[in-house]
Amino acid sequence: MTRIAVCGATGRSGAAVVEAGRARDDVEIVAGFASTTDETDGLPLRPASEAGTVLDEYDVDAVVDFSTPEATMDVLAGCLDNGVALAVATTGFDEDELTRLREAADEIPVLKATNFSRGIQALLRTVREAVGALDDYDLELLESHHNGKLDAPSGTANTILETVQEERDVEPVYGREGHAPRDDDEIGVFARRAGDIRGEHELLLAGNDEVLSLSHRAEDRGVFAAGALDAAQWLVGREPGWYDFGAVVDDA
């Protein structure tokens, strides 16, 4: 039984992790970190700044983090103090914060993913193959999320962009306005925020009188919750290091 704490336990995705964890018999959600310190359905909640004490008190094996960069840094400190594995889904880190995460991987296992969907992992591999094969096609990237998402483009969209750039030397153009002729070496990147959209991503490749659309849509946050729990469980007992979700999928 893997004992897990959830950072951002009262947010949309964090609450989905708690719910998914309670439905499984191979993990136990033992504590949560949130801005409120009230219990939620019997789950103890504490501020992320108290992570060191909480992780020790509840004998936590791994932390799943769906929060904010500031909260992640607090929980990271607690994980380092207690030798606890950390699976990070939070996005929007600045360069200094990313450096701190990577340095922490010298001491504990850290897995950072912009998306914990197995379908997205398959999409990324397909993107790499398609962009390499259609090396002169125009590229456009569109993502859509709920109206409460703070960062844009999404972390997943940035991961898709990075995957494209591994195959082609293209520069992102974030939206277009006015007189904006398209260059051959650009990729348009667009973000939409509306309603309760869980997450939609589409890469468009167009040329040679044809259009190829590679897309993924999450129907429920439980997709990400399940993947994050799988990742946290997979991390426990591993050597310190910097891991990605693709390794979890490959090891399934």
Active site residues: 145, 149
Using alpha carbons, select from 22, 227, 252, 200 the residue that is nearest to residue 111.
227
- Residue 86 structure tokens: 């950390």
Residue 178 falls in which region: left (phi positive, over 0), alpha (psi -120 to 50) or beta: left
Phi then psi for residue 186, to 5 deg, are -120, 160
Using alpha carbons, select from 192, 185, 236, 209 the residue that is nearest to residue 201.
192
SS3 154: coil
Other C-beta atoms within 10 Å of 4: how many? 29
| Integer Cα distance of 6 and 38 in angstroms | 15
